[in-house]
């Protein structure tokens, strides 16, 4: 079973510092983090931190998709958000399995993972925190923007992992990570392509929509318009 | 017995609104109230005030109407709870008598939290603050005797000793040294999170109480003492507030606030000796369970996060308990009286360099004397000795023993 929010109950660990108070056994150090990568020639502690960040982004992505799937007024978008949400949760599983298979800890939350969570939290909050001044079309655009931004980062993360695999020597670490990259890579391509194309379509639809031209259009008219997008 | 608040529906929020007559609770009798019932009332007032203040802050960060409406309703319900709880304090209990209660809260709450705190760094923060609040009780007890000629021990019921702690005059430090590192929201023991939220709420309420009541006194020594100790309480709000991980979203923080209120009402009910007041704790527990459901629903729909992901599978089975902590306080006095803060670190005062900002700050604020020293000087000047209630023997720190007992 995947972990979407690491906590004490799931066995979360982190890197303690002067500013972050964590006690053993919940605090881990660079030596332990780098151990699985010994002999590979890479900075193991850095890669462990990076994998944790990528995993955190997938976890936050799952939350994002759950949220926007529940709030979109458009059935086509909802179906896509639900589909990508399932795939993103599968990415969480793959990364957790890969990290565990190479001897790492999928419950480890690195400093850069904390920063990623901070960014992703702000991104998700931006899709609803200012709803009061956004009509239904704006909300849809903001949610799609959040997906596009999240997928852009996600795509870059997996591209970086693919590059890292190429730099690793032959062996179990390379094999395990490469396997995950091979399964996820095409899906990330599709997520980003879809988000980018859909944003372009939505932009064109609204730019040419007579409903949008009416200042003070009724909310129900707008919802009806949004529901019919892509149909 | 395992108690998972998420599995309890509680009272629906739409049924929680009360009439003025329902909020017109009968105050306790200050002459026969159990001292720890008084402390429970003071603490839960602070918990509700924090909930209200947090909610105000949150709603100013959003224009999402649904979230604003949910917050507005919860805030009004919390405000009614606060009225019902604070209304238990009787009108014939003077602000200074209530203040003695506040400091008994500070001592016995902080000591309990420290004794049961799993994170060593958080325990250290609690121990550090404990000795400072312990001293405040002693200073106010002397003021009470000076102004009213009454014994604070009658209010504390001899359950909490009254004797010097880390002297208030040395507690003043540069604001940078009030800051601490924070716990990790991912790895923190659920109990740690609840402890930190509780102590922040308690210290914040104490700060606000002193800041607002100092001007009600005529006597300069009283006004000065309240102002001086209010400043230390502000230090404590910073000290404990910086232990909270800033990573959590507003909605997660809302869920944590509601969860803590559930935990605290459950705790208060567990030990309450007054049946009438326990029924208020139980009513508010039901209400907070209902409010937790609303917060969890907002988190689910807006952030896609199930509250069960961020909360433990059951409430910690250790309630927050008011009980005597005399031996514990004495042990901390003995071992930590000379500690000071240096940034995030706790160091012996003798290890601070002479040019440390602590000494510069001390020289500035204590120039011309400190009311916390003057109140003792006045009491000793008039009566030959200070007011203490040392039921467990002489003070564990030789320098802080009464002159007659020093030796």
Mean pLDDT for back-to-back runs of 10 residues, chain B (407 residues): 92 98 96 97 98 98 98 98 98 98 98 97 98 98 98 98 98 98 98 98 98 96 98 98 98 98 98 98 98 98 98 95 98 98 98 98 97 98 96 97 62
- The rounded percent of chain A whose pLDDT value lies above 70 is 97
Q: Which residues of B touch A (CB under 8 A)?
A: 61-68, 118-122, 180-184, 186-190, 243, 247, 249-250, 301-305, 309-310, 312-313, 344
- For residue B247, the chain A residues in CB contact (below 8 A) are 114, 117-118, 121
- For residue B313, the chain A residues in CB contact (below 8 A) are 9
Structure confidence at residue A1 as a pLDDT band (50, 70, 90): confident
Residue with the larger pLDDT of the pair A212 and B87: B87
pLDDT tens-digit profile of A154-174? Answer: 999 999 999 999 999 999 999
Name residues whose C-beta falls within 8 Å of residue A64's C-beta, 6 or more positions apart in sequence: A120, A123, A124, A146, A147, A150, B304
Return the pLDDT at A217.
65
A70 and B304 within 8 Å at the Cβ level: the answer is: yes
- B151-177 as b/e: b if 16+ CB within 10 A: ebbebbeebbbbbbbbbbbbbbbbeeb
pLDDT at A193 over 80: yes
Quote the CA–CA distance of B278 and B283 in Å, as a whole number: 9
Quote the CA–CA distance of B289 and A19 in Å, as a whole number: 34
Quote the CA–CA distance of B407 and B393 in Å, as a whole number: 14
Return the pLDDT at B406.
38
HSE-CB of B199 using CA atoms within 13 angstroms: 35
ipTM entry: 0.95
pLDDT at A215 over 60: no
pLDDT tens-digit profile of A80-123? Answer: 999 999 999 999 999 999 999 999 999 999 999 999 999 999 99
Quote the CA–CA distance of B215 and B144 in Å, as a whole number: 16
Return the pLDDT at B1.
61
Strand, coil or helix: what is A182?
helix
Nearest CB partner across the interface for A132, out of B65, B122, B190: B65
pLDDT at A213 over 80: no
Cβ contacts below 8 Å, chain A against chain B, sum to: 109
> Which residues 63-122 of chain A have a CB within 8 Å of chain B?
63-67, 70-71, 109, 114, 117-118, 121
Which residues are bridge partners to B342 per DSSP? B345
List C-alpha distances in Å: B80 to A221, B254, B260. 41, 18, 18
Name residues whose C-beta falls within 8 Å of residue A57's C-beta, 6 or more positions apart in sequence: A116, A120, A150, A153, A154, A157
Return the pLDDT at B404.
58
- For residue A62, the chain B residues in CB contact (below 8 A) are 304
Domain boundaries, chain A: 8-197
Residue A185 CA to chain centroid, in angstroms? 14
Q: What's the burial of B255, exposed, middle or buried (CB within 10 Å: 0-12/13-18/19+)?
A: buried
A4 and B305 within 8 Å at the Cβ level: the answer is: yes
pLDDT at A211 over 70: no
A21 and B182 within 8 Å at the Cβ level: the answer is: yes
Return the pLDDT at B405.
43
- For residue B66, the chain A residues in CB contact (below 8 A) are 131
Cis peptide preceding B209, ω within 30 of 0: no
Structure confidence at residue A142 as a pLDDT band (50, 70, 90): very high
The distance of B348 to chain A (nearest Cα, Å) reads 19
Return the pLDDT at A209.
74
CATH of domain A8-197: 1.20.1260.10
What average pLDDT does the segment A124-128 reach? 98
The distance of A138 to chain B (nearest Cα, Å) reads 13
pTM, rounded to two decimals: 0.96
The distance of A83 to chain B (nearest Cα, Å) reads 15
Pick the closest to residue B167 from B39, B349, B323 (CA basis). Answer: B349
């Amino acid at each position: 079973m995947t972990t979407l929010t690491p906590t004490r109950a799931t066995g979360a660990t982190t890197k303690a510092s002067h500013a972050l108070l964590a006690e053993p056994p919940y605090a881990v150090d660079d030596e332990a983090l780098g151990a699985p990568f010994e002999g590979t020639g890479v900075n193991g502690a850095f890669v462990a931190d990076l994998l944790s960040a990528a995993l955190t982004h997938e976890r936050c992505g799952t939350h994002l998709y759950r949220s926007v799937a529940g709030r979109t007024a458009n059935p086509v978008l909802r179906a896509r958000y639900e589909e990508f949400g399932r795939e993103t949760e599968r990415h969480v599983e793959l990364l957790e399995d890969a990290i565990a298979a190479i001897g790492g800890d999928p419950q480890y939350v690195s400093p850069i993972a904390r920063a990623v969570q901070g960014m992703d939290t702000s991104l998700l909050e931006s899709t609803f925190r200012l709803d009061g001044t956004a009509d239904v079309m704006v909300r849809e655009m903001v949610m799609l923007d959040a997906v596009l931004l999240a997928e852009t980062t996600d795509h870059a993360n997996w591209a970086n992992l693919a590059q890292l695999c190429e730099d690793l020597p032959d062996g179990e670490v390379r094999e395990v990570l490469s396997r995950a990259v091979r399964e996820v890579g095409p899906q990330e391509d599709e997520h980003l392509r879809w988000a980018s194309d859909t944003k372009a379509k939505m932009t064109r639809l609204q730019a040419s929509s007579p409903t949008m031209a009416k200042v003070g259009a009724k909310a129900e008219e707008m919802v009806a318009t949004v529901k019919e997008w892509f149909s | 017995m395992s108690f998972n608040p998420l599995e309890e529906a509680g009272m629906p929020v739409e049924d929680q609104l009360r009439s003025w007559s329902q909020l017109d609770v009968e105050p306790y009798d200050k002459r026969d109230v159990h001292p720890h019932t008084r402390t429970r009332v003071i603490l839960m007032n602070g918990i509700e005030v924090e909930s209200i203040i947090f909610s105000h802050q949150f709603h100013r960060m959003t224009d999402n109407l649904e979230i604003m409406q949910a917050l507005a309703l919860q805030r009004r319900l919390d405000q009614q709870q606060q009225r019902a709880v604070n209304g238990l304090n009787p009108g014939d209990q003077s602000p200074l008598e209530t203040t003695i209660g506040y400091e008994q809260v500070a001592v016995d709450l902080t000591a309990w939290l420290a004794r049961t705190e799993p994170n060593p760094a958080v325990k250290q923060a609690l121990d550090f603050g404990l000795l400072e609040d312990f001293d405040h009780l002693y200073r106010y007890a002397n003021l009470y005797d000076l102004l009213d000629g009454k014994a604070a021990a009658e209010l504390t019921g001899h359950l909490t000793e009254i004797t010097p702690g880390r002297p208030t005059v040395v507690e003043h430090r540069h604001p940078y040294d009030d800051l601490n590192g924070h716990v990790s929201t991912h790895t923190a023991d659920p109990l740690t999170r609840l402890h930190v939220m509780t102590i922040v709420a308690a210290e914040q309420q104490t700060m606000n109480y002193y800041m607002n009541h100092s001007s009600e006194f005529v006597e300069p020594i009283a006004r000065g003492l309240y102002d001086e100790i209010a400043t230390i309480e502000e230090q404590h709000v910073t000290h404990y507030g910086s232990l909270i991980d800033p990573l959590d979203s507003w909605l997660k923080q809302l869920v944590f606030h509601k969860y803590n209120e559930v935990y605290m009402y459950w705790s208060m009910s567990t030990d309450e000796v007054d049946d009438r007041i326990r029924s208020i704790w139980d009513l508010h527990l039901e209400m907070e369970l209902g409010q937790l459901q609303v917060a969890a629903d907002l988190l689910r729909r807006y952030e896609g996060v199930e509250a069960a992901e961020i909360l433990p599978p059951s409430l910690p089975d250790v309630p927050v308990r008011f009980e005597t902590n005399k031996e514990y306080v004495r042990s901390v006095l003995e071992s930590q009286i000379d500690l000071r803060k240096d940034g995030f670190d706790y160091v012996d005062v003798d290890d601070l360099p002479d040019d440390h900002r602590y000494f510069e700050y001390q020289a500035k604020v204590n120039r011309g004397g400190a009311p916390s020293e003057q109140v003792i000087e006045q009491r000793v000047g008039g009566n030959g000795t200070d007011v203490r209630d040392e039921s467990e023997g002489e003070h564990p720190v030789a320098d802080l023993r009464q002159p007659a007992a020093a030796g």
